[in-house]
Structure formats: C-alpha cells, structure tokens
Amino acid sequence: MSAHDVGLWFLEQEAHSLVARLSRLRPFALLTPMVPAATLPPAAQAAIENHLVEGRRRLRGRIGNFLSWLRGPGRNATLAEAQKRIIFLKLRFNAVISQFHIFAAVFTQRSELGTGVWIAGLDDFAADALALPGDYYQAPPVVCYVDQGHGGAIRRARTRLPGGDPSPVAVIRIPHERLLGSGIASSLVHETGHQAAQLLNLINPLRAALQERKEAHPETAAAWALWERWISEIVADFWGVAKVGVASTLGLMSLVSLPRAFVFRIDTQDPHPAPWIRVKLSCAVGRSLYPHPQWDTLGNLWESFYPLAETSPEVRTTIGMLQATIPEFVGLLVNFRPQALRGKSLREVMPLAERQPARMSGLYQAWKGSPAQLRAARPSLAFAVIGQAKADGKISPEEEGNLLADLLSYWALRSALDTSTICATQPRVRLEQPLPLGRGLTTTL
C-alpha cells in the first residue's frame, strides 16, 4: 500500500472507532435504576433522552457521509483534507459525550436512597417556583441535581450546550451543603429567577432603564453603573423574595456569610453584588413587597455581623452611595413593566397577598397540627411558610429538616402516582413508526 492509501485506511479506522464508541452510549432509561418516586418529570426525561438520541443519530449520519466520501471522491483528496474532515467529526463526538455527562448527574443521583426522592421533590418545587399565573410564558421542564460547591447554578433551557445545541430543559444545581434546610429555597428559587428573567426578557430593558438613571444622576452615576452591572443577579434575588419571602433573605445571609474581605469586596467584573450590599438590598426588596419590621431587624443584624465602620474610607464611600440609591432602585425594579407582562409590573404579577408575613405565620400555626394541609399547599408557599416560621423562631433546625424531607418525599411520590394514574388510563397503542427514543434501543445510534 502507498503512503496515501495507508493514511486513508488509518482515517477510516478512526471513523469506525467513533461509531463503535458512540454505540455504547445508552439511553438513561436503560442505565439508571431508581425508585418510581425519584424519576424525572416525564416531559423532562423525554426531552433529554430524545435530544441525546437525536444528537447521536445526526453524528452517525455525518460519520456515514464521511466514510462514503472517503471511499469515493476522497480517494483523490489530500490526506490533509481528509484529516480536517474527521477532526470536525471528533469535535462533534466530544460535544455529544459532554452533553451526555451534563445530564448524567441529573439521572444518576436519583438512584441514591433518600437523596434521589428528595431531588425529585425539588423538581416539583422548581416547577412551581418558575410558574407565573397569567400565561405570560410557557415554562420549560426543570430538573435538579445536587453537587458540591458554594451556591447554586442553572443551565437555562434553550441556552447552548457543548457543540452549540440548545438545551431541551433547564438544569438547576443545588449545593449539597443546603440539603436539607429552608436555605435550599433561597438557592433554588434564585436560579429559577434567572430562567424567568430570560423568558420575560427582563435584563436588557432594565439595563437600559438603569443607564437612563445613570445619565440623569451624574452625582451617583457610579452607583447606577454598579446596579446595571449586577442587575441579572439582582433580578434573581428579587424573584426569590417574591416567591418565598423571608426564607430567601435568610438563605442569602447564610450563603454569603464569608470572611470580611469577601463580604465587602466590590468587583466591577463580577455579576454578583458585593455580599454586604446584596443582603441589604434583599431586605429592602422584602420591605417593599411585604412591609414588616422583620426586614429592619435582619438588616440591623447583618450590620452588626459586618460593621461598615471597620472598612476602608473608599469602601464606605461606595457602599454609602449604593445605599442612598437603594430606595429609587427598588422602586424601579418592583414597578418595572416589561413588554411580556402586557402592561403589568413585576410587583403586580407576584403572589404578594398570600406571602404577607402575618398571613404566613398564621398558616404555620394552622398547619402545624395538620400535615395534610401543608402537603396540599403549593411547594413555594410551603417553603415560604416554613421560612417565616424560622424567622419567627417557631421551628428548630432539626424540625425544619425533618419537615422538609417529608414534604419533598411526599411531592415526589404524589407526582409519581399521578403520572402512573394518567398512564394507566391510556390504552396501549402500537406505533406504525417507532418514537425517537425507540431508535435509541438499537446499537445503530
């Protein structure tokens, strides 16, 4: 064989190797054992499985086209040209593998005893936290998983996965250190706030409004520039307070209780506000949405933990400017009227009446002896009520953890039984053409 023929043979073997390795990627439905209560929401599982199957199918097609080219016109091409073509296939193969592992964490943890069911319960909580009555948007499927690290994160639906494909679902990472406590509500609802901000197209219009404030108030332009830089995280914090009340602020205080150097650090490149001002802003948003003395109490407590007087003059000047603009900034935020809300403000579409502190305190007293009523409540309301009880000193951390474990397990079981009931009422149908997932059961993926 000539050197050219040897090169073509080598590249052909590389292509066949990609096919062999690709065929070993199996649908998660065949890989991951879990109790029924720990399974993903059906819409989310179908979306993920079909997305991955379709990605493998397209890649197999591209590899097949490459092999056909290699055996035909490619025999007269240079080895450099053939090598360039297979490199793109390898990059796509690595993207398919990366996507598989992104979703693997969501599936595999559900086989863990206890934790898997709690995570499924968090799926229900996340879906409720993202829901916004009024048909303002169609919420995508949301799934959760637990990981190490400080703070949560979200891969929003329809954002780009490795390789450029849009994600079929929203994936929320919950820090393990928040499991189980009401602080989990702060992290989870904050992340759903990022997804909601995208669905409502909030960030760019808010940035434009903040730029106008910056130009109109040159004496505090530096503060408005920081609010503009931080607006995406602030909107997510707003969503948390609006959905779960004081539980959001308490969770935030726990999350950002760090060494002083980090708490007072103002980084213009970081989308997160400086922790000290972030907690104060959360209190101000809570005070605006749910007037109550507790917000002043929490704000004063935070100042006693981290006295501003002990910082440098530069830090005091910047934070002083930010504090001076908080009332106007909060007013702009809660009264903002994005186009997607059809004339309504952010304040007006939130469930403020049922989240008022006094009402939630009353609900906790009424539900304390009636677990059935607490279980029947919407998950975000249940977490808000428990968070308020924590702020009122009516529940111990041990009681809180046990109660949340029970609720998450109950919601997961309820969803599993509801799904089973729906499936049981449907007649078996023989499909003339297999579903996309059906193709995933063959080795030709």
Question: pLDDT tens for residues 284-295?
Answer: 999 999 999 999
pLDDT at 431: 39
Distance in Å from the first CA to the final CA of the chain: 33
Count each helix (H run) and each strand (E run) in the chain, helices first. 18, 3
Q: pLDDT digits over 377-410, tens only?
A: 999 999 999 999 999 999 998 899 899 999 999 9
- The CA-CA-CA angle for residues 312, 318, 319, to 5°, reads 85
- Cis peptide bond upstream of 435, omega within 30: no
pLDDT-based confidence at residue 35 (cuts at 50, 70, 90) = confident
Considering only residues 151 and 351, tell me which one the structure prediction assigns the higher pLDDT: 351
pLDDT-based confidence at residue 440 (cuts at 50, 70, 90) = very low
Q: pLDDT digits over 296-344, tens only?
A: 999 999 999 999 999 999 999 999 999 999 999 999 999 999 999 999 9
In one letter, which amino acid is 404? L
Residue 140 pLDDT greater than 50, yes or no: yes
Q: Is 75 helix (H, G, I), strand (E, B) or coil?
A: helix
Integer Cα distance of 134 and 350 in angstroms: 10
Could you give the dihedral angle defined by the CA atoms of residues 209, 210, 215 and 217, in that order, rounded to the nearest 10 degrees? 120
If you average pLDDT over every residue of the chain, what do you get? 90
Bridge-based pairing state of the strands 170-175 and 142-147: parallel
pLDDT at 179: 77
How many residues are present in the chain? 445
pLDDT-based confidence at residue 417 (cuts at 50, 70, 90) = confident
Bridge-based pairing state of the strands 170-175 and 153-155: antiparallel
pLDDT-based confidence at residue 432 (cuts at 50, 70, 90) = very low
Considering only residues 167 and 179, tell me which one the structure prediction assigns the higher pLDDT: 167
